[in-house]
Amino acid sequence: MAKKALIAVSGGIAVYKVCQVVSDLGKRGVDVQVIMTENATKFVTPLTFEALSKNMVFTDTFDYSYDASIKHITLAQEADVMCVAPATANIIAKLANGIADDMVSSTFLATTCPVIVCPAMNTHMYENAATQANLATLAARGIELVGPGIGKLACGDVAKGTLSPVDEIVEAICKKLGA
Convert the pLDDT of each residue in 107-149 to its tens digit. 999 999 999 999 999 999 999 999 999 999 999 999 999 999 9
Nearest to 163 by CA among 105, 122, 115, 108: 122
Query: Which CATH number is associated with domain 4-177?
Result: 3.40.50.1950
- Write the CB contacts of 61 (distance below 8 Å, at least 6 apart in sequence): 71, 72, 102, 103, 106
Length of the chain, please?
179
Provide the pLDDT confidence category of residue 66 given band limits of 50, 70 and 90: low
Residues 145-154: tens digit of each pLDDT: 999 999 888 8
Whole-number Cα distances in Å, 89 to 3, 124, 142: 29, 10, 19
Provide the pLDDT confidence category of residue 68 given band limits of 50, 70 and 90: low
How far, in whole angstroms, is CA 90 from its chain's centroid?
12
Active-site residue, selected from the candidate residues 83, 113, 118, 155: 155
**How far is it, in rounded angstroms, from Cα 63 to Cα 68?**
9
Q: What is the pTM of this model?
A: 0.95
Answer yes or no: are the C-beta atoms of 71 and 63 closer than 8 Å.
yes
pLDDT at 177 over 90: yes
pLDDT at 70 over 90: no
State the pLDDT at residue 125. Answer: 95
- Residue 155 among the catalytic residues: yes
